[in-house]
Amino acid sequence: MGDHNGAIQDYNKAITQYPDFAIAYYYRANSKNKLGDQKGAIQDYNKAIALDPKFVEAYLVRGIFKCSLGYNKEAIEDYNKVIEMDPKHSLGYCYRAGAKKLLEDFTGAIQDCNKAIEINPKFADAYNVRGLAKDKLGDKKGAVIDYNKAIELNPKLAAAYCNRADLTDTKGAIKDYSKAIELNPKYSEAYFLRATVKLMLEDREGALEDLSKAGELGYSVAYEVIKKIQNKEL
* Domains 4-164 and 165-234 in one fold: yes
Confidence of residue 234 (pLDDT cuts 50, 70, 90): confident
The 8-class DSSP code of residue 155 comes to T
Are 200 and 230 within 8 A, CB to CB? no
**Averaged pLDDT of the chain:** 96
8 in Cβ contact with 31 (< 8 Å)? yes
pTM of the predicted structure, to 2 decimals: 0.92
Would you say how long the chain is, in residues? 234
pLDDT in tens, 95-125: 999 999 999 999 999 999 999 999 999 999 9
| CATH value of 4-164 in 1.25.40.10, 3.50.30.30, 3.90.550.10, 3.40.50.300 | 1.25.40.10
**pLDDT at residue 2 above 70?**
no
Q: Which of 74, 125, 72 is nearest to 101 (CA)?
A: 72
pLDDT digits (tens, 9 = 90+) for 162-179: 999 999 999 999 999 999
pLDDT of residue 193: 98
Band (59; pLDDT cuts 50, 70, 90): very high
In percent, the amount of the chain with pLDDT more than 90 equals 95
Mention every residue, 6+ apart, whose C-beta is less than 8 A from residue 119.
Answer: 88, 89, 90, 93
φ and ψ of 231, to 5 deg: -90, 5
Residue 130 has pLDDT above 90, yes or no: yes
For 165-234, CATH gives: 1.25.40.10
Residue 4 has pLDDT above 60, yes or no: yes
For the chain, domain boundaries: 4-164, 165-234
C-beta of residue 145 within 8 angstroms of C-beta of residue 132:
no
Cβ atoms of 180 and 187 closer than 8 Å = yes
pLDDT at residue 232, rounded to an integer: 83
pLDDT at 136 over 80: yes
* Residue 104 φ/ψ region, left for φ over 0, alpha for ψ in the -120 to 50 degree band, beta for the rest: left
pLDDT at site 3: 87
Which of these, 110, 106, 63, lies nearest to 83 by C-alpha position?
Answer: 63
* pLDDT above 90 for 66: yes
pLDDT of 204 above 80: yes
pLDDT at 21 over 80: yes
Residue 233 has pLDDT above 90, yes or no: no
